[in-house]
A and B are shown apart, each in its own frame.
Chain A
Amino acid sequence: MICAIIVVVNLKNIENSFSRTIRLQNSLYRIGAKLGLRRLAKTRPLVILFGAILITIVFLTIFADFVSPYNPLVQDISSRLESPGQEFLFGSDNFGRDVFSRVIYGSRSSLYIAITSVIIGTILGTIIGTFSAYRGGWVDQVSQRGIDTLLGFPSLVLAIILVVTLGSSTQAVTIAIAVALIPQVARLSRAHALSIKEEDFVIAARSIGAQPMSIIFKHIIPHTFGPIVAYAAGYVSVAIVVESALSFIGLGVPPPYPSWGGMLQEGRLYMEVAPWVTIFPGIALSVTAFSFALLGDALRDIFDPRDRFYNGSFFPSGNKSDLKEM
């Protein structure tokens, strides 16, 4: 009797568990469908692969304190330039520091600087570009000439100028990369805002006496959001590379704190006898930058309706539910 009850209860639990799993699966499926992941998986499987890698990197970054086997700053001269093995997964560097731990902690520097600078640059660039487009006239002319000037400098050169001026620090590098991004986002947001500001709903808002700032923030920016987010996500890869380049030339994260660019710089003197000191941060840098670039592409596909009409088919999956995604 008791056994029967246990079996029934367990079956009930199993059933509940199963139904919960199904519900979760359906939810994820719906979210995936909404984000266009199914289509992405079908058309761009690499995006899913590198997305998963990116999630892993972000996870390692967040939980670096628990994942890293060693303190990335502690030197052990007797263990310098040890090859990868059981003791040091990625080998050790010139000071006997664990390369694996430094790669993981280095991701903190790289991702923190890249993501923070992109957020700052995107917000400021969007506001400047949208405001410039909305106001038009001399405001637009002046701001666009300023942006033209900034666009004349390659991102890295502009960042170097700013870091040299501000002094080498994490904050300075973040600001430098953000400033390099601002003109690009401003130009993009202005282009979108110029067309949106002529839309009926904007004219309607203006006709009922809405304030310009209210129109900009409530009506225009939300409609330029998609392409800008897609661009910004892609730019994270550029920001990572710029941060690494700055660290490589000694203008980024100051030693002994690890950063991928700094590790590449330190390791290149030992390339022949200890290639692992350079190879692993190099791989981490490449994979992360590539992942963000693909993420940017994927987001652009999701946010850009024109991409859904490829191959001459209005509903690429042959499913009308695609219409809802639009």
Chain B
Amino acid sequence: MILGFSAILVMGLILDYYNQVPTPISNIPDLESIDPNNQEKDVDISPSFQDDQGGDLDDPSIQQKRGGILVLANRGDPPAGFDTMRTSSIALHHVAGALFGPGNLVMRCRENMYLVCPYLARSWLPNPSFTEWTFTLRNDVFWHDNTQFTPNDVKFWLNLSISGLKVGDKIRAPAYFEGDLGEIEKVEVIPPVQVKITLKNPNRFFPDILANPRLKIAHPRHLMEPRINDGDLSVSPLDVGLIGLGPFKFDNYEPGSIMQVLRFDNYFEHDAGGDQLPYLDGIDYVIISDPVAMDIAFRTGRLDGGARGFGHYLSEERVVGYTRDLEDNVHFSQIEGGTIRLAFNVLKSGPWQDMRVRRAIALWIDKESAIPAVLGGFGWTTPDISPNNPFKDKRFVVWPKFDLAPLDERRDEAKKLMAGAGYSNGFSMGHLCRARHTQACQFLKDQLVGLGIDLQLHIIDEGEWNRARVSLDFDTQPGALSVLPIPEGTEGVYGRFSLSPDAYSKHEDEEVDRFYRLLRDATTTERRIDIWRQLQKYLFVEQTYIIPIAEATYVVPYRTYVRGLVIPSEDGHTNTDFATVWLDK
């Protein structure tokens, strides 16, 4: 234990010295590891910092061209006043990466998104019990109005996120990701450049949680605090002129039409050759809510890149048109995406409270069919964590591959289970269906007809979805939140309802708690693998609270002259800063 901690301490000191070295923070928890870089060897790190087309971004022989405006499609107007505390909408985060940066104190490494890299902090260190994390900030970071970024900004942002505000009758709610951060006891500024975050409970994965690209610092204290003091508690980034810390600064926004950003000359990141990032002069985000309109604009040369977001990601059929028109002049980037699921609210009375019924439904669904019908031909069946995820491929060999029997056999078994549960004639069951995901709902409805289940689709807009998904009003729901790409990061969506209202399935099963406790207490990766495997089997087979059906592969088109793109293995919210992009034309 002491040896492990010493190793971590030494690693921290080393990193403090080499402040740009990627830090495999997610591996710190392995206390049996003496070599601080031991874990790094276990994960599949790309050999070099490559762009999406195979170009080595660290290769000094490649001369990146500076200048030019990148024209991208954006799925819609960024909602909620561009407030990253209010929404994880990709319509915001596709733009917000350039404005506010790809991370906060830390970020997911560009070369390997499963590692944590420094961003606004040079280094960080936990105390031996992992209840205190001290971050040392860079001193060359500036807001877009050229105000120095300080530890007080971090304290302001974290306090606003975890506690919100209350002044008299006015309330500012905490950030939607408040629960993900865990229970933060206090945030202290240690002058001149350090911030100490004290947690109520040990958390060895705190930097991994912070590295979630949705947690962007978009809240300049020097501009927002005066407004808050004047009583404007709901002040948003848009209200203060979208002053951020990212590689591009705000230039122009015409709602429903275009959002334009320009290079920020005081941006702190540099490439391997020492050249300042970003390379581009600016980015135009053309707001195109209709995917067909995006296709036409791209194929007629008015866009350099497509939008991110479900619906705008390409299907096989749409790719045909792109390739026919543009031949080799278009490149299709692939990102592992969200999973189609069926999650039960077992706290609501109904046949689905019977495990046999849930299991029968899991066996009955033809998961392979979901890929062409719902995912446009790009996807995988039954994963829980992306196939690219190193935890799966290497040591977390948790690709569940449950229910591998032929479909006919599974369906015979399903009918027996339904009969055994007394529902051989079927029943009616409600399903929350987001209006933008009706294809998945239609697929599920049709699938369950054969089992005698009449799936009643309640088609709801995003507002109602945000309310209903954390309620107990529904029978089943699709489950659509993205989680951290580590087993410990999944408690928010698989945990008990009373602890995790946002969980896909609503249950109060304390056995699930026990698994997560075991995970938190595990000191070796092997142990984590074993527990995670057991937990998945418990969730997806033994109790079948959730049925993972298929996972999407998101396909985004870019013109081949768009170079330096860093496409994440999974999660379309990652690497939206475009700081390393340049135009080869």
Contact = CB atoms under 8 A, between A and B. Distances in A.
Contact of A77 (B321, B372, B457): B372
A26 B443 CA distance: 55
Interface string A271-314: 11110000000000000000000000000000000000000000
A269 B442 contact: no
B372 A272 contact: no
Contacts of A274: 317
Interface in B49-89: none
B306 to A, nearest CB: 14
A254 interface: yes
B446 A95 contact: yes
B contact residues, range: 20 to 34
Contact of A80 (B366, B373, B441): B373
Contacts of A256: 442, 445-446, 457
Contact of A272 (B320, B439, B441, B442): B320
A316 interface: no
A272 B446 contact: no
Contacts of B445: 256
Nearest to B438: A255
B463 to A, nearest CB: 11
Interface string B338-370: 000000000000000000000000000010010
A54 interface: no
Nearest to A271: B292
Nearest to B320: A273
A270 interface: yes
Nearest to B366: A77
Interface residues of A, number: 20
B200 interface: no
Contact of B446 (A73, A268, A271): A73
A80 B317 CA distance: 12
A255 B442 contact: yes
Contacts of B372: 77, 80
Contacts of B15: none
Contact of A269 (B317, B438, B457): B317
A272 B373 contact: no
Interface in B434-448: 435, 438-439, 441-443, 445-446
B446 A81 contact: no
B441 A77 contact: no
A273 B457 CA distance: 29
A74 interface: yes
Contacts of A269: 291-292, 315, 317-318
Contacts of B292: 268-269, 271
Interface in A209-261: 250, 254-256
A75 B109 CA distance: 43
A172 to B, nearest CB: 12
B317 A77 contact: no
Contacts of B442: 75, 95, 255-256
Contacts of A107: none
Nearest to A251: B435
B441 A255 contact: yes
A94 B457 CA distance: 19
Give the one of B292, B439, B442 with max A CB within 10 A: B442
B330 to A, nearest CB: 15
A270 B317 contact: yes
Contacts of B235: none
Contacts of B435: 250
B459 interface: yes
Contacts of B321: 272-273
Nearest to A256: B442
Interface of A: 73-75, 77, 80-81, 94-95, 168, 250, 254-256, 268-274
7 contacts: A74-B446, A75-B442, A77-B372, A81-B317, A95-B442, A272-B321, A273-B321
Interface of B: 291-292, 315, 317-318, 320-321, 366, 369, 372-373, 435, 438-439, 441-443, 445-446, 449, 457, 459
The 7 A-B pairs at the shortest CB distance, nearest first, are namely: A77-B369, A75-B446, A256-B442, A273-B317, A272-B321, A255-B438, A254-B459
